[in-house]
Structure 1
Amino acid sequence: MQLHQYSDTKALNTDFANRLVTLLNEAISQRGRAYLVVSGGRTPTALFNALSETDLAWQNVTILLADERFVPVDSADSNERLVKANLLKGKAAKAEFISLYAPAAKAEAAVATILPRIAAIPAFDAVILGMGEDGHTASLFPCSAELNSGLAADAPAVLAVNPTTAPHQRISLSLPRLLNAGQIFIHLVGQSKLDVLNKAQAGTDVTSMPIRAILQQPDVDVAVMYAAN
């Protein structure tokens, strides 16, 4: 794991966007298409807006989320809505987006519809993850009964999650699907997130802090992109 610290979020987002464009350009050159996984929440919105104005063959880029709240896509709580409003615009409007939402009574019933969308995707070129104060990443929550299933080496690409400490059912990519990637970034802003990162690095129990399963695995490069404010 490499920790990259920046003077502020503007400097972070400028460098982060440049790194992503380089990775995606390399992927397009090598195999004709690039695959980018992003996360929702407040932290990445400025990055998304910066990235949307970069010069890239966006028509050759596929974007999907690491996880999604099980709410309609027009809901204020929808990560898909956030990505479409902040990233899939301007120059990046030409990118393909693959949704982690499907209408159903429960998230569990939607998984069968969503799985085939992910099955044909090769290794991701870049994965951007966040991290909660409880050490969760994507929707792999320490409080959820589905955590061990999502961390298992033979986990399906997508699973339904029922967190007890956060609202809404979730649809999440599993740990092995997230790790099928060329590069993973963890995007953090604020001293409290650095404190959580340090705590995660100090222990090894992935069930108490699932971000450890990303930080401490030996196979995929992980870069932490951090600014205090």
Structure 2
Amino acid sequence: MNMIEYADREMLAMSVANVLAGELRKSLAVQDHVTFALPGGTTPGPIFEMLSAVELEWSRVRVMLTDERWVDEENAHSNTRLVKNTLLTGVAAEAEFIPFYRDGLSAADGAAEVAPTLAEHFPLSLLLLGMGADMHTASLFPNGEGVGKAMANDAPLLCAVQPADQDMVRVTLPLHVLNGSMSTHVVIFGDDKRAAVERAQSLPPEEAPIGAVLANATVHWAA
């Protein structure tokens, strides 16, 4: 794990947006299409807004979420809605978005339908992750229902999971897909999350899923 510290969150957002843009350009120089997987949540919003204005060949970029709540994009909890409102605007609107949600299907049935269609987009060219205070990343939650299967080496390419103590079912890319990314970045804010990410390295993956993706990751941190 490589950790980079920033003076404040605005500087982090600017720097990470520049780093991601540079890596996308580098990948586009050697690949016809690149796949960029990214998280939902409020933390990456400013990064996405800055990245959306960057001039690059967005028409050759395929964007997908690392995980999604099983709701349609009109729902306020939808990560798809967030990404479309922050990243896929301006010049970045030319990127191809790969949706997971399937109307009328359960999360388990929808994940089973979508999973085989994702193979052509892997390995990921670029991966951006966040982390919760409980040391989850994507929707790999400690002790969540279905998370053990999603962390297995033979997991389907999209898995339905039910976090403990949450009502909303989610789907997530499995651990082996996350670890197969050619470049991985993690963004965290606050002293508590910095302590958590450092502690995660010494805990079993089922207790601290973020620890399972840190070996080749760059962690970007601001207080």
Bucket of the pairwise TM-score, normalised by the shorter protein:
over 0.9
Question: Unaligned regions of 5+ residues in structure 1, if any?
Answer: none
Letter in 2 for 1:145: E
CA contact (8 A) 2:101 2:110 kept: yes
Letter in 1 for 2:141: F
Q: Deviations over 1:157-185 (max 9, x none)?
A: 11000112334100000000111211111
> What is the match of residue 157 of structure 1?
157
> What is the match of residue 199 of structure 1?
199
Identify which of 188, 210, 219 aligns with 1:224. 219
Is 1:28 aligned with 2:28? yes
> What is the match of residue 70 of structure 1?
70
Could you say what the CA RMSD is over the residues aligned between the two structures, in angstroms? 1.2
In 1, Cα distance between the equivalents of 2:165 and 2:130?
17
CA contact (8 A) 1:98 1:117 kept: no
In 1, Cα distance between the equivalents of 2:86 and 2:17?
14
Letter in 1 for 2:211: R
In 1, Cα distance between the equivalents of 2:19 and 2:37?
14
CA contact (8 A) 1:143 1:165 kept: no
Question: Unaligned regions of 5+ residues in structure 2, if any?
Answer: none
> What is the match of residue 214 of structure 2?
215
Matches within 5 A, 1:102-121: 102-121=102-121
CA contact (8 A) 1:127 1:183 kept: yes
Q: Deviations over 1:130-167 (max 9, x none)?
A: 11111111001112121211111111111000112334
Relative to structure 2, which stretch is displaced further, 50-59 or 97-106?
97-106
In 2, Cα distance between the equivalents of 1:58 and 1:48?
13
Q: Deviations over 1:63-112 (max 9, x none)?
A: 00000000111100000000000000011010000012112342111112
> What is the match of residue 99 of structure 1?
99
Matches within 5 A, 1:158-173: 158-173=158-173
In 2, Cα distance between the equivalents of 1:113 and 1:156?
11
Local SS of the residue matching 1:7: coil
Q: Deviations over 1:37-75 (max 9, x none)?
A: 000001000000000011111111110000000011110
In 2, Cα distance between the equivalents of 1:129 and 1:167?
23
Is 1:37 aligned with 2:30? no
Q: TM-score, normalised by structure 2?
A: 0.96
Alpha-carbon deviation of 1:204?
Answer: 3.0
Count residues in correspondence.
223
CA contact (8 A) 2:146 2:161 kept: yes
Alpha-carbon deviation of 1:120?
Answer: 1.4
